[in-house]
Amino acid sequence: FDLASILTRGEDGTPLANPPLIRAISKDPVLSEVKLISEPWDCGGLYQVGSFPNWDIWAEWNGKFRDAVRKFIKGSEGQKRALATRIAGSSDLYNYHQRKPFHSINFVVAHDGFTLHDLVAYNQKHNRANGESGRDGCNDNDSWNCGAEGETSDVGVLALRKRQMRNMHLVNMVSQGVPMVVMGDEYGHTRHGNNNAYGHDNHLTHFQARHRPPFDWTCSASVPDRPGWELLETTRDSFFRYFSGLVSFRRDHPLLGQAEFLGKADITWHEDNWSNPESKFLAFTLHGHGRDLYCAFNAHHYFVK
């Protein structure tokens, strides 16, 4: 449910603790058995991540997960504790009543905003193609262009961008909760810095794969702007392989995507420096099912041994 918090307001716009429509959906014998996911905020400023009325039925887009991952991976200070909480399943938000880790829909990128590629390629939005003189779209993206704005031939910048894309996808795949990814991020789709491209029917929003869709793409009238449909093929043995491989790894690993919140015996944090805002190294080991899984993230500009 896009901008679902609007459905929790009363006739005068006041947020309701027990909104009748959300309650009716939650109690319906059919609808209550399907996957109900809210985008728990609206255009009026209501922000309900962790507090969306849910009757232990509704899952939520975890916007705090997105923010923590983006900030930590790009190297912002003071983000380690927040990232650790999100990786462990956001129990501060969802561990009450009958809520479970799977009520947290974890994501770094959504259908609006920057793509994963553009998140590491642009510091600013570039939305003039939308016809609103660049006024539309979010200004607060927590992005970092890795040293050059937009397209570049600098091999160092390009290598860093690829590494950052891998880092953010890895965090999502090893976190407790349900990961959400956006179509196109698996091959590095770019909208050239446009973070509000929903109104476009061209290369900004078309899936760039060699495989042809079920209608006639040979007709020029069908596609006014078709750039080749080959990006997926060019990354199939590199980034796409990494991206899809991690999805498979998560699906098959019993310590990832657990149904219950982690206890002290389930995870070891290799950390005694939580209060230092300059510390950007986070490591942990998951335990259970007769096996261990060690993960580490280093957002410093130097190696950590």
Q: Which residues are catalytic?
A: 2, 39
* DSSP category for residue 31: G
Sheet with 267-269: list strands edge to edge. Answer: 267-269, 281-288, 291-298
Helix axes 80-87, 63-74, angle to 10 degrees: 130
AA letter at 107: F
179 forms beta bridges with 106
**Structure tokens, 53:** 């009325």
Cα separation, 58 vs 99, in Å, equals 9
Cα separation, 91 vs 298, in Å, equals 23
Angle, alpha carbons 76-77-78 (nearest 5°): 125
Cα separation, 182 vs 175, in Å, equals 17
Residue 8's SS3 state is helix
Return phi, psi of residue 254, to 5°: -70, -15
Task: Answer whether 287's CB lies under 8 Å from 269's CB.
Answer: no
Chain centre distance of CA 93: 17
Q: Based on the number of CB atoms within 10 Å of its own CB, is 288 exposed (0-12), middle (13-18) or buried (19 or more)? A: middle
